[in-house]
A and B are shown apart, each in its own frame.
Chain A
Amino acid sequence: MNAIAISDLQLVLAASRVLISLALSWVLRLGLGRDIAISSLRMVVQLLLVGLILAWVFSLQNPWLVLGIGLVMTFLAAHAASRRPKRTYPRLLLDSFVSILISALLLTSLVLKGILDVQPWYLPQYLVPILGMVLGNALTGVSLAVDRFTANLDAGRAEIEGLLSVGATSREAAHAAVRDALRAGMIPTLNSMAVMGVVSLPGMMTGQILAGADPATAVRYQIVIMFVIAASTALGCLMSLELAYRRLFDSHQRLRIDRLLVRS
Protein backbone atom coordinates (compact mmCIF):
# COMPACT_ATOMS: atom_id res chain seq x y z
CA MET A 1 0.00 0.00 0.00
CA ASN A 2 1.48 3.33 -0.95
CA ALA A 3 -0.80 6.32 -0.82
CA ILE A 4 0.07 9.66 -2.39
CA ALA A 5 1.19 11.84 0.52
CA ILE A 6 -0.61 15.13 0.98
CA SER A 7 1.81 17.97 1.62
CA ASP A 8 1.13 20.97 3.87
CA LEU A 9 0.76 23.18 0.83
CA GLN A 10 -1.85 20.82 -0.60
CA LEU A 11 -3.75 20.88 2.70
CA VAL A 12 -3.84 24.66 2.60
CA LEU A 13 -5.04 24.45 -0.98
CA ALA A 14 -7.88 22.16 0.15
CA ALA A 15 -8.70 24.45 3.05
CA SER A 16 -9.04 27.38 0.67
CA ARG A 17 -12.10 25.60 -0.75
CA VAL A 18 -13.93 26.63 2.38
CA LEU A 19 -13.79 30.15 0.91
CA ILE A 20 -16.40 28.98 -1.62
CA SER A 21 -18.84 28.18 1.20
CA LEU A 22 -17.99 31.44 2.92
CA ALA A 23 -18.54 33.43 -0.28
CA LEU A 24 -21.89 31.69 -0.87
CA SER A 25 -22.96 32.47 2.68
CA TRP A 26 -21.99 36.09 2.21
CA VAL A 27 -23.67 36.49 -1.21
CA LEU A 28 -26.89 34.77 -0.14
CA ARG A 29 -26.82 36.48 3.28
CA LEU A 30 -27.19 33.14 5.06
CA GLY A 31 -25.33 34.38 8.11
CA LEU A 32 -23.49 31.06 8.30
CA GLY A 33 -20.01 32.54 7.89
CA ARG A 34 -19.10 32.32 11.56
CA ASP A 35 -20.45 28.76 11.89
CA ILE A 36 -18.63 27.59 8.77
CA ALA A 37 -15.34 29.12 9.91
CA ILE A 38 -15.58 27.72 13.44
CA SER A 39 -16.66 24.24 12.29
CA SER A 40 -13.87 24.09 9.73
CA LEU A 41 -11.28 25.18 12.23
CA ARG A 42 -12.56 22.70 14.82
CA MET A 43 -12.51 19.87 12.33
CA VAL A 44 -8.91 20.62 11.30
CA VAL A 45 -7.65 20.98 14.87
CA GLN A 46 -9.50 17.84 16.07
CA LEU A 47 -8.23 15.71 13.19
CA LEU A 48 -4.62 16.95 13.47
CA LEU A 49 -4.68 16.26 17.20
CA VAL A 50 -6.17 12.80 16.67
CA GLY A 51 -3.52 12.13 14.06
CA LEU A 52 -0.80 13.00 16.60
CA ILE A 53 -2.40 10.88 19.33
CA LEU A 54 -2.92 7.92 17.02
CA ALA A 55 0.67 8.08 15.76
CA TRP A 56 1.82 8.02 19.39
CA VAL A 57 -0.52 5.16 20.33
CA PHE A 58 0.46 3.16 17.24
CA SER A 59 4.14 3.54 18.04
CA LEU A 60 3.83 2.40 21.65
CA GLN A 61 1.70 -0.73 21.03
CA ASN A 62 0.67 -0.85 24.67
CA PRO A 63 -2.58 -2.76 25.39
CA TRP A 64 -3.50 -0.60 28.41
CA LEU A 65 -3.05 2.58 26.45
CA VAL A 66 -5.21 1.20 23.63
CA LEU A 67 -7.90 0.16 26.11
CA GLY A 68 -7.76 3.60 27.75
CA ILE A 69 -8.21 5.31 24.39
CA GLY A 70 -11.11 2.94 23.66
CA LEU A 71 -12.78 3.83 26.96
CA VAL A 72 -12.42 7.56 26.36
CA MET A 73 -13.91 7.13 22.88
CA THR A 74 -16.81 5.14 24.35
CA PHE A 75 -17.48 7.77 26.99
CA LEU A 76 -17.48 10.55 24.40
CA ALA A 77 -19.91 8.53 22.27
CA ALA A 78 -22.21 7.92 25.27
CA HIS A 79 -22.04 11.60 26.19
CA ALA A 80 -23.02 12.63 22.68
CA ALA A 81 -25.80 10.02 22.57
CA SER A 82 -27.30 11.16 25.88
CA ARG A 83 -27.32 14.83 24.91
CA ARG A 84 -29.34 14.44 21.75
CA PRO A 85 -32.77 13.18 22.91
CA LYS A 86 -35.24 16.00 23.52
CA ARG A 87 -36.48 14.39 26.73
CA THR A 88 -34.07 13.10 29.28
CA TYR A 89 -34.25 11.25 32.57
CA PRO A 90 -31.87 10.89 35.51
CA ARG A 91 -28.88 8.68 34.71
CA LEU A 92 -29.47 8.66 30.97
CA LEU A 93 -25.71 9.20 30.52
CA LEU A 94 -24.93 6.11 32.60
CA ASP A 95 -27.46 4.02 30.69
CA SER A 96 -26.09 5.20 27.34
CA PHE A 97 -22.54 4.45 28.46
CA VAL A 98 -23.41 0.94 29.63
CA SER A 99 -25.34 0.02 26.51
CA ILE A 100 -22.80 1.48 24.09
CA LEU A 101 -19.86 0.01 26.01
CA ILE A 102 -21.25 -3.51 26.13
CA SER A 103 -22.39 -3.62 22.52
CA ALA A 104 -19.17 -2.05 21.20
CA LEU A 105 -16.97 -4.26 23.37
CA LEU A 106 -18.77 -7.41 22.31
CA LEU A 107 -18.85 -6.67 18.61
CA THR A 108 -15.38 -5.14 18.30
CA SER A 109 -13.77 -8.06 20.08
CA LEU A 110 -15.76 -10.44 17.92
CA VAL A 111 -14.29 -8.87 14.78
CA LEU A 112 -10.75 -8.61 16.12
CA LYS A 113 -10.53 -12.16 17.43
CA GLY A 114 -13.37 -14.08 15.79
CA ILE A 115 -13.19 -12.81 12.23
CA LEU A 116 -9.91 -11.05 11.48
CA ASP A 117 -7.83 -12.81 14.17
CA VAL A 118 -5.61 -9.76 14.62
CA GLN A 119 -2.26 -10.51 16.36
CA PRO A 120 -1.91 -9.14 19.03
CA TRP A 121 -5.60 -8.44 19.71
CA TYR A 122 -4.97 -4.83 20.73
CA LEU A 123 -3.21 -3.86 17.50
CA PRO A 124 -4.36 -0.22 17.44
CA GLN A 125 -4.30 0.02 13.63
CA TYR A 126 -7.31 -2.30 13.69
CA LEU A 127 -8.91 -1.75 17.06
CA VAL A 128 -9.18 2.05 17.02
CA PRO A 129 -10.82 2.52 13.60
CA ILE A 130 -13.15 -0.45 13.98
CA LEU A 131 -14.21 0.65 17.44
CA GLY A 132 -14.68 4.17 16.11
CA MET A 133 -17.05 3.04 13.40
CA VAL A 134 -19.00 0.79 15.74
CA LEU A 135 -19.29 3.60 18.30
CA GLY A 136 -20.36 6.20 15.76
CA ASN A 137 -23.25 4.07 14.57
CA ALA A 138 -24.25 2.78 17.99
CA LEU A 139 -24.38 6.35 19.26
CA THR A 140 -26.71 7.44 16.47
CA GLY A 141 -28.91 4.40 17.01
CA VAL A 142 -29.08 4.79 20.78
CA SER A 143 -29.87 8.50 20.70
CA LEU A 144 -32.60 8.04 18.09
CA ALA A 145 -34.11 5.07 19.93
CA VAL A 146 -34.16 6.81 23.32
CA ASP A 147 -35.49 10.00 21.77
CA ARG A 148 -38.35 8.11 20.14
CA PHE A 149 -39.10 5.97 23.19
CA THR A 150 -39.38 8.91 25.60
CA ALA A 151 -41.43 10.86 23.04
CA ASN A 152 -43.73 7.83 22.69
CA LEU A 153 -44.21 7.60 26.45
CA ASP A 154 -44.95 11.30 26.69
CA ALA A 155 -47.39 11.43 23.80
CA GLY A 156 -48.85 7.98 24.48
CA ARG A 157 -49.31 8.40 28.21
CA ALA A 158 -53.12 8.18 28.05
CA GLU A 159 -52.99 5.03 25.96
CA ILE A 160 -50.32 3.38 28.11
CA GLU A 161 -52.06 4.18 31.39
CA GLY A 162 -55.32 3.06 29.79
CA LEU A 163 -53.72 -0.34 29.21
CA LEU A 164 -52.19 -0.44 32.69
CA SER A 165 -55.55 0.31 34.28
CA VAL A 166 -57.21 -2.65 32.61
CA GLY A 167 -54.50 -4.97 33.94
CA ALA A 168 -51.59 -4.81 31.51
CA THR A 169 -48.12 -5.38 32.95
CA SER A 170 -45.83 -2.44 32.29
CA ARG A 171 -44.01 -4.57 29.74
CA GLU A 172 -47.26 -5.22 27.87
CA ALA A 173 -48.21 -1.55 28.08
CA ALA A 174 -44.78 -0.38 26.84
CA HIS A 175 -44.50 -2.94 24.05
CA ALA A 176 -45.70 -0.74 21.18
CA ALA A 177 -43.54 2.19 22.30
CA VAL A 178 -40.43 -0.01 22.55
CA ARG A 179 -41.00 -1.67 19.18
CA ASP A 180 -41.45 1.66 17.44
CA ALA A 181 -38.35 3.12 19.13
CA LEU A 182 -36.24 0.14 18.12
CA ARG A 183 -37.31 0.62 14.53
CA ALA A 184 -36.43 4.34 14.72
CA GLY A 185 -32.97 3.50 16.08
CA MET A 186 -32.25 0.98 13.33
CA ILE A 187 -33.50 2.99 10.34
CA PRO A 188 -30.25 4.87 9.55
CA THR A 189 -28.23 1.65 9.62
CA LEU A 190 -30.74 -0.28 7.53
CA ASN A 191 -31.00 2.58 5.02
CA SER A 192 -27.27 2.87 4.61
CA MET A 193 -26.96 -0.90 4.15
CA ALA A 194 -29.62 -0.84 1.44
CA VAL A 195 -27.89 1.78 -0.73
CA MET A 196 -24.32 0.84 0.12
CA GLY A 197 -22.04 0.81 -2.90
CA VAL A 198 -24.87 1.97 -5.17
CA VAL A 199 -25.52 5.47 -3.92
CA SER A 200 -22.74 5.86 -1.40
CA LEU A 201 -19.24 4.53 -1.31
CA PRO A 202 -18.67 4.08 2.40
CA GLY A 203 -16.00 6.19 4.02
CA MET A 204 -13.86 3.33 5.19
CA MET A 205 -13.80 1.71 1.77
CA THR A 206 -13.05 5.00 0.07
CA GLY A 207 -10.24 5.64 2.50
CA GLN A 208 -8.73 2.20 1.96
CA ILE A 209 -8.91 2.50 -1.81
CA LEU A 210 -7.41 5.99 -1.78
CA ALA A 211 -4.65 4.67 0.47
CA GLY A 212 -3.82 2.10 -2.19
CA ALA A 213 -5.65 -1.06 -1.09
CA ASP A 214 -7.08 -3.55 -3.56
CA PRO A 215 -10.81 -2.71 -4.01
CA ALA A 216 -11.75 -6.38 -3.54
CA THR A 217 -10.08 -6.37 -0.11
CA ALA A 218 -11.69 -3.05 0.75
CA VAL A 219 -15.12 -4.46 -0.14
CA ARG A 220 -14.60 -7.49 2.09
CA TYR A 221 -13.63 -5.26 5.01
CA GLN A 222 -16.66 -3.12 4.36
CA ILE A 223 -19.00 -6.13 4.43
CA VAL A 224 -17.59 -7.30 7.75
CA ILE A 225 -17.86 -3.80 9.16
CA MET A 226 -21.45 -3.32 8.00
CA PHE A 227 -22.64 -6.50 9.68
CA VAL A 228 -20.81 -5.57 12.84
CA ILE A 229 -22.27 -2.06 12.74
CA ALA A 230 -25.80 -3.42 12.24
CA ALA A 231 -25.41 -5.90 15.07
CA SER A 232 -23.90 -3.42 17.50
CA THR A 233 -26.51 -0.79 16.68
CA ALA A 234 -29.29 -3.31 17.27
CA LEU A 235 -27.73 -4.47 20.53
CA GLY A 236 -27.04 -0.92 21.71
CA CYS A 237 -30.62 0.17 20.92
CA LEU A 238 -32.13 -2.86 22.64
CA MET A 239 -30.05 -2.38 25.77
CA SER A 240 -30.62 1.35 26.03
CA LEU A 241 -34.37 0.82 25.57
CA GLU A 242 -34.43 -1.87 28.24
CA LEU A 243 -32.58 0.42 30.64
CA ALA A 244 -34.81 3.40 29.82
CA TYR A 245 -37.87 1.19 30.31
CA ARG A 246 -36.63 0.18 33.76
CA ARG A 247 -36.15 3.82 34.76
CA LEU A 248 -39.49 5.04 33.45
CA PHE A 249 -41.69 2.27 34.81
CA ASP A 250 -41.43 1.22 38.45
CA SER A 251 -41.86 -2.05 40.32
CA HIS A 252 -45.55 -1.28 40.98
CA GLN A 253 -46.15 -1.28 37.23
CA ARG A 254 -46.58 2.46 37.13
CA LEU A 255 -45.55 4.77 34.32
CA ARG A 256 -43.21 7.32 35.93
CA ILE A 257 -43.68 10.21 33.54
CA ASP A 258 -42.55 12.48 36.40
CA ARG A 259 -38.99 11.22 35.87
CA LEU A 260 -38.99 12.57 32.32
CA LEU A 261 -37.51 16.04 31.84
CA VAL A 262 -37.94 18.01 28.66
CA ARG A 263 -34.70 19.70 27.66
CA SER A 264 -35.15 23.37 27.03
Chain B
Amino acid sequence: MEELLAVRAASRQVAGRTLWRDLSLAVATGDRLVIDGPSGSGKTLLLRSIAGLDPFTTGGCEFRGRTQLEWSMPAYRAQVMYVPQRAALAPGTVLEGIRAPFGLGVHKDKSFNPAAAEQVLADLGRPARLLETDTSNLSGGELQSVLLARALLLSPAVLLLDEVTAALDPELASQAEQVLISWSQVGERGLLWVGHDRDGQSRMGTDELRIGKVQ
Protein backbone atom coordinates (compact mmCIF):
# COMPACT_ATOMS: atom_id res chain seq x y z
CA MET B 1 0.00 0.00 0.00
CA GLU B 2 1.34 3.39 -0.88
CA GLU B 3 1.81 5.78 2.00
CA LEU B 4 0.05 9.08 1.43
CA LEU B 5 0.50 11.02 4.63
CA ALA B 6 2.68 10.57 7.68
CA VAL B 7 3.19 12.49 10.91
CA ARG B 8 6.52 11.84 12.59
CA ALA B 9 7.56 12.46 16.19
CA ALA B 10 5.30 15.46 16.47
CA SER B 11 4.45 17.38 19.59
CA ARG B 12 2.39 20.38 20.39
CA GLN B 13 2.48 22.67 23.37
CA VAL B 14 -0.03 25.37 24.13
CA ALA B 15 0.89 27.90 26.81
CA GLY B 16 3.46 25.55 28.33
CA ARG B 17 1.11 22.56 28.43
CA THR B 18 1.96 19.55 26.25
CA LEU B 19 -1.12 18.34 24.39
CA TRP B 20 0.56 15.44 22.62
CA ARG B 21 4.14 14.40 22.16
CA ASP B 22 6.08 11.90 20.10
CA LEU B 23 2.99 11.42 18.00
CA SER B 24 3.36 9.43 14.80
CA LEU B 25 0.77 8.22 12.36
CA ALA B 26 0.57 7.08 8.77
CA VAL B 27 -2.25 7.06 6.26
CA ALA B 28 -1.95 4.81 3.22
CA THR B 29 -4.25 4.52 0.23
CA GLY B 30 -7.71 3.45 1.39
CA ASP B 31 -7.01 4.12 5.08
CA ARG B 32 -9.57 5.79 7.29
CA LEU B 33 -7.83 6.65 10.53
CA VAL B 34 -9.98 7.56 13.50
CA ILE B 35 -8.35 9.98 15.97
CA ASP B 36 -9.84 9.57 19.42
CA GLY B 37 -9.12 11.17 22.76
CA PRO B 38 -10.80 13.05 25.59
CA SER B 39 -12.11 16.51 24.92
CA GLY B 40 -9.32 19.07 25.12
CA SER B 41 -6.71 16.51 24.04
CA GLY B 42 -5.90 18.47 20.90
CA LYS B 43 -7.67 16.46 18.18
CA THR B 44 -8.72 19.57 16.30
CA LEU B 45 -5.27 21.07 16.76
CA LEU B 46 -3.72 17.91 15.29
CA LEU B 47 -5.90 18.11 12.19
CA ARG B 48 -5.22 21.85 11.87
CA SER B 49 -1.48 21.23 12.21
CA ILE B 50 -1.56 18.57 9.52
CA ALA B 51 -3.46 21.08 7.35
CA GLY B 52 -0.74 23.65 8.06
CA LEU B 53 -3.13 26.10 9.74
CA ASP B 54 -1.32 25.68 13.06
CA PRO B 55 2.34 24.86 13.69
CA PHE B 56 3.74 21.67 15.20
CA THR B 57 5.95 22.50 18.18
CA THR B 58 8.39 19.77 17.15
CA GLY B 59 8.34 17.15 14.41
CA GLY B 60 6.22 17.53 11.34
CA CYS B 61 4.35 15.80 8.60
CA GLU B 62 4.96 14.50 5.12
CA PHE B 63 2.69 14.11 2.15
CA ARG B 64 3.72 11.89 -0.77
CA GLY B 65 7.26 11.70 0.56
CA ARG B 66 7.85 15.43 0.83
CA THR B 67 7.67 17.37 4.08
CA GLN B 68 4.96 19.95 4.52
CA LEU B 69 7.54 22.72 4.37
CA GLU B 70 8.81 21.51 1.00
CA TRP B 71 5.36 21.85 -0.51
CA SER B 72 3.90 25.15 -1.59
CA MET B 73 1.12 25.49 0.99
CA PRO B 74 -1.76 26.11 -1.46
CA ALA B 75 -0.80 23.00 -3.49
CA TYR B 76 -0.46 21.00 -0.28
CA ARG B 77 -3.78 22.14 1.14
CA ALA B 78 -5.53 21.52 -2.17
CA GLN B 79 -4.62 17.84 -1.64
CA VAL B 80 -4.59 17.53 2.15
CA MET B 81 -7.86 19.26 2.85
CA TYR B 82 -9.19 20.20 6.27
CA VAL B 83 -12.96 20.30 6.76
CA PRO B 84 -13.81 21.99 10.08
CA GLN B 85 -16.82 21.41 12.22
CA ARG B 86 -17.84 24.99 11.67
CA ALA B 87 -16.72 27.39 9.01
CA ALA B 88 -18.20 30.39 7.35
CA LEU B 89 -18.96 31.01 3.71
CA ALA B 90 -18.82 34.44 2.11
CA PRO B 91 -22.19 36.18 1.71
CA GLY B 92 -24.01 34.97 -1.40
CA THR B 93 -25.72 31.80 -2.53
CA VAL B 94 -24.51 28.30 -1.67
CA LEU B 95 -23.74 27.80 -5.37
CA GLU B 96 -21.38 30.79 -5.32
CA GLY B 97 -19.82 29.54 -2.10
CA ILE B 98 -19.12 26.12 -3.59
CA ARG B 99 -17.85 27.60 -6.82
CA ALA B 100 -15.57 30.21 -5.17
CA PRO B 101 -12.54 27.91 -4.60
CA PHE B 102 -12.47 27.07 -8.32
CA GLY B 103 -11.46 30.70 -8.86
CA LEU B 104 -8.30 30.25 -6.77
CA GLY B 105 -4.95 29.99 -8.53
CA VAL B 106 -4.26 26.49 -7.26
CA HIS B 107 -7.48 25.09 -8.78
CA LYS B 108 -7.28 26.87 -12.11
CA ASP B 109 -6.90 23.63 -14.07
CA LYS B 110 -10.21 22.35 -12.64
CA SER B 111 -13.57 23.51 -13.83
CA PHE B 112 -16.72 23.79 -11.78
CA ASN B 113 -19.59 21.59 -12.84
CA PRO B 114 -22.99 22.56 -11.35
CA ALA B 115 -24.42 19.13 -12.19
CA ALA B 116 -21.66 17.47 -10.16
CA ALA B 117 -22.44 19.81 -7.27
CA GLU B 118 -26.12 18.78 -7.39
CA GLN B 119 -25.07 15.13 -7.49
CA VAL B 120 -22.79 15.38 -4.44
CA LEU B 121 -25.48 17.22 -2.48
CA ALA B 122 -28.02 14.56 -3.49
CA ASP B 123 -25.62 11.84 -2.29
CA LEU B 124 -25.45 13.69 1.03
CA GLY B 125 -29.26 13.72 1.14
CA ARG B 126 -29.74 17.37 0.26
CA PRO B 127 -32.07 18.76 -2.42
CA ALA B 128 -30.65 20.69 -5.40
CA ARG B 129 -32.54 23.80 -4.36
CA LEU B 130 -30.09 24.16 -1.47
CA LEU B 131 -27.72 25.63 -4.07
CA GLU B 132 -29.95 28.70 -4.42
CA THR B 133 -30.14 29.31 -0.66
CA ASP B 134 -28.33 32.29 0.81
CA THR B 135 -25.34 31.13 2.87
CA SER B 136 -26.48 33.25 5.83
CA ASN B 137 -29.74 31.26 6.02
CA LEU B 138 -28.14 27.81 6.31
CA SER B 139 -28.72 25.71 9.40
CA GLY B 140 -25.68 24.21 11.10
CA GLY B 141 -26.39 20.84 9.50
CA GLU B 142 -26.89 22.30 6.02
CA LEU B 143 -23.62 24.23 6.33
CA GLN B 144 -21.81 20.98 7.19
CA SER B 145 -23.25 19.27 4.10
CA VAL B 146 -22.23 22.22 1.94
CA LEU B 147 -18.66 22.30 3.32
CA LEU B 148 -18.32 18.56 2.78
CA ALA B 149 -19.68 18.84 -0.77
CA ARG B 150 -17.29 21.71 -1.50
CA ALA B 151 -14.32 19.66 -0.31
CA LEU B 152 -15.35 16.55 -2.27
CA LEU B 153 -15.79 18.55 -5.49
CA LEU B 154 -12.21 19.81 -5.23
CA SER B 155 -11.02 16.15 -5.28
CA PRO B 156 -8.27 16.19 -2.65
CA ALA B 157 -6.20 13.08 -1.82
CA VAL B 158 -6.55 13.23 1.97
CA LEU B 159 -9.51 14.61 3.89
CA LEU B 160 -9.05 15.81 7.47
CA LEU B 161 -12.58 15.60 8.86
CA ASP B 162 -13.29 17.34 12.16
CA GLU B 163 -16.73 16.43 13.56
CA VAL B 164 -18.22 16.95 10.11
CA THR B 165 -21.43 15.06 10.92
CA ALA B 166 -21.93 16.47 14.43
CA ALA B 167 -24.82 18.73 13.40
CA LEU B 168 -26.51 16.20 11.08
CA ASP B 169 -29.44 14.06 12.16
CA PRO B 170 -28.60 10.31 12.37
CA GLU B 171 -29.97 9.45 8.93
CA LEU B 172 -28.06 12.20 7.11
CA ALA B 173 -24.98 11.44 9.20
CA SER B 174 -24.89 7.81 8.11
CA GLN B 175 -25.53 8.91 4.51
CA ALA B 176 -22.51 11.23 4.75
CA GLU B 177 -20.44 8.39 6.24
CA GLN B 178 -21.38 6.15 3.32
CA VAL B 179 -20.38 8.84 0.82
CA LEU B 180 -17.01 9.27 2.54
CA ILE B 181 -16.36 5.53 2.80
CA SER B 182 -16.99 4.94 -0.89
CA TRP B 183 -14.99 8.09 -1.72
CA SER B 184 -11.99 6.65 0.18
CA GLN B 185 -12.14 3.37 -1.74
CA VAL B 186 -11.45 4.91 -5.15
CA GLY B 187 -8.00 5.90 -6.37
CA GLU B 188 -5.24 7.07 -4.04
CA ARG B 189 -7.26 8.49 -1.19
CA GLY B 190 -7.38 8.36 2.57
CA LEU B 191 -8.98 10.23 5.44
CA LEU B 192 -8.58 11.16 9.08
CA TRP B 193 -11.72 11.17 11.16
CA VAL B 194 -12.45 13.00 14.39
CA GLY B 195 -15.94 12.40 15.75
CA HIS B 196 -17.28 11.90 19.24
CA ASP B 197 -19.90 9.32 18.25
CA ARG B 198 -18.60 5.81 19.11
CA ASP B 199 -20.77 4.02 16.54
CA GLY B 200 -19.73 6.50 13.89
CA GLN B 201 -16.09 5.85 14.76
CA SER B 202 -16.44 2.09 14.39
CA ARG B 203 -18.31 2.46 11.09
CA MET B 204 -15.79 4.93 9.69
CA GLY B 205 -12.46 3.62 10.91
CA THR B 206 -10.11 1.11 9.36
CA ASP B 207 -7.68 2.02 12.14
CA GLU B 208 -7.64 4.05 15.32
CA LEU B 209 -5.18 6.32 17.15
CA ARG B 210 -5.73 7.46 20.71
CA ILE B 211 -4.13 10.73 21.76
CA GLY B 212 -3.93 12.86 24.88
CA LYS B 213 -2.98 10.51 27.71
CA VAL B 214 -2.92 12.46 30.92
CA GLN B 215 0.64 13.49 31.63
Contact = CB atoms under 8 A, between A and B. Distances in A.
The answer on A and B forming one complex is yes
Nearest to A167: B78
B38 to A, nearest CB: 24
B73 A252 contact: yes
Highest count of chain B CB atoms <10 Å: which of A161, A162, A166, A255: A166
Interface string A159-177: 1011111111100100010
Interface in A208-264: 252-255
A31 interface: no
A158 interface: yes
Contacts of B100: 163
A interface, size bucket = 10 to 19
A167 B51 CA distance: 10
A240 B73 CA distance: 25
Contacts of B104: 163, 166-169, 172
A198 B84 CA distance: 53
Contact of B52 (A156, A166, A176, A253): A253
Q: Please provide the 5 A-B residue pairs with the shortest distance between their CB atoms, ordered closest to farther.
A: A167-B78, A162-B87, A253-B73, A159-B88, A158-B88
B46 to A, nearest CB: 14
A254 B53 contact: yes
Contacts of B88: 156, 158-159, 162
A156 B87 CA distance: 10
A254 B82 CA distance: 13
Contact of A158 (B55, B82, B87): B87
B155 to A, nearest CB: 11
A172 B105 contact: yes
A255 B54 CA distance: 9
Contacts of A254: 52-55
20 contacts: A156-B88, A158-B86, A159-B90, A161-B87, A162-B84, A162-B88, A164-B53, A165-B82, A165-B84, A166-B78, A166-B101, A167-B101, A167-B104, A168-B74, A169-B106, A252-B52, A252-B69, A253-B74, A254-B53, A254-B55
Given A158-B87, A158-B88, A254-B53, A169 B74 contact: yes
Contacts of A255: 53
B104 to A, nearest CB: 5
Interface string B84-105: 1011111000000000110011
B143 to A, nearest CB: 10
Interface residues of B, number: 30
B93 to A, nearest CB: 15
A248 B55 CA distance: 15
B210 interface: no
Given A252-B73, A253-B52, A253-B73, A168 B101 contact: yes
Contacts of A167: 74-75, 77-78, 81, 101, 104, 106-107, 154
A30 to B, nearest CB: 40
A255 B73 CA distance: 13
Interface string B29-69: 00000000000000000000001111100000000000001
Contacts of B105: 169, 172
Contacts of A252: 52, 55, 69, 73
Contact of A165 (B51, B75, B107): B51
A172 B73 CA distance: 13
B77 A158 contact: no
A203 to B, nearest CB: 39
B14 to A, nearest CB: 10
B151 interface: yes
A164 to B, nearest CB: 6
A206 to B, nearest CB: 43
B77 A164 contact: yes
Interface string B132-167: 000000000000000100110010000000000000
B47 to A, nearest CB: 10
Given A158-B87, A252-B73, A163 B101 contact: yes
Contacts of B84: 158, 161-162, 165
Contacts of A253: 52, 73-74, 77
